Amino acid sequence: MRGYSFSLAAEDPGSAVRRRWLVAAAALAVGLVPLALMFRGEAAAAVRVWIDSTAYNHCFLVLPVAAYLLWERRQVLAALSPQPAPWLALAAVPAGLCWLLAERAGIWEARQLLAMSLVQILLLAVLGPRCWRALSAPLLYLFFLVPVGGFLVPALQNFTAHFMAAGLDILRIPNYSTGVTIEIPEGTFYVAEACAGLRFLVASVAFGVLYGCVMYTSPLRRLLFAALSLVVPVIANGFRALGLVVLAHLLGNAAAVETDHVLYGWLFFSIVTFVLILVGLPFRQTPRPIAPVDAATAGPHHRDPLAVLAGIAAAAVILCVAAPRLLADRLDSLTVPAISGAGPRLPNLPGCTALPPPSRPPVTVAAAAAGLEQTRAYRCAGDTFLVAWHRYPPRISARPLFKPPQPQAGWRRSQAAAVRGLDIDAGGAVQHWRIAEFGRDARYAAIATALWIAGRPAGNTIASRLRQAVNALSPAPLSPAAVIVSYTTTQGAARGRRALERFLAGAAPAFARLAG
Break the chain into its structural domains and give their ranges: 13-146+298-333, 151-283, 337-515
Give pLDDT, residue 42: 92
State how far the Cα of 72 lies from the Cα of 63, in Å rounded to an integer.
Answer: 14
Which of 409, 403, 367, 365 shows the shortest CA–CA distance to 387? 365
User: 419: Cβ–Cβ under 8 A, 6 or more apart, which residues?
Assistant: 404, 434, 435, 436, 437
Backbone angles phi, psi at 194, to 5 degrees: -65, -20
Q: Which helix (H) or strand (E) holds 418?
A: strand 418-426
Give pLDDT, residue 363: 54
b/e map 12-37, b = 16+ CB within 10 Å: ebeebbebbbebbeebbebbbebbee
Query: Residue 21 in contact with residue 78, Cβ under 8 Å?
Result: no
Give pLDDT, residue 375: 82
Query: Residue 314 in contact with residue 31, Cβ under 8 Å?
Result: yes
State how far the Cα of 365 lies from the Cα of 403, in Å rounded to an integer.
Answer: 8
Give pLDDT, residue 410: 52
State how far the Cα of 65 lies from the Cα of 214, in Å rounded to an integer.
Answer: 11
Over the chain (516 residues), what is each successive 10-residue block's mean pLDDT?
46 70 89 93 92 87 92 81 90 94 90 95 93 90 91 86 90 83 80 78 89 87 90 88 83 60 67 84 75 47 69 90 88 56 68 77 49 79 86 83 67 57 82 82 83 88 88 86 87 86 88 75
Burial of 93 (0-12, 13-18, 19+ CB in 10 A): middle
Residues in the chain, overall count? 516
b/e map 132-156, b = 16+ CB within 10 Å: bebbbbbbbbbbbbbbbbbebbeeb
CA distances, 132 to each of 23, 85, 306 (Å): 16, 11, 16
Give pLDDT, residue 115: 95
CA atoms within 13 A of residue 149's CA, in its CB half-sphere: 26
Which of 413, 400, 405 shows the shortest CA–CA distance to 388? 405
Angle formed by the axes of helices 462-473 and 92-105, to 10°?
A: 110
Query: Residue 390 in contact with residue 481, Cβ under 8 Å?
Result: yes
- Mapped onto helix, strand or coil, the DSSP state of residue 120 is helix
User: 247: Cβ–Cβ under 8 A, 6 or more apart, which residues?
Assistant: 257
Strand partners, 432: 423
Give pLDDT, residue 296: 43
Angle formed by the axes of helices 198-215 and 153-170, to 10°?
A: 100
DSSP classification of residue 55: G
Global pTM?
0.79
Query: Residue 414 in contact with residue 440, Cβ under 8 Å?
Result: yes
Give pLDDT, residue 111: 93
Which of 160, 159, 168, 206 shows the shortest CA–CA distance to 58? 206
State how far the Cα of 57 lies from the Cα of 200, in Å rounded to an integer.
Answer: 11
Beta strands 456-458; 444-453: pairing state? antiparallel
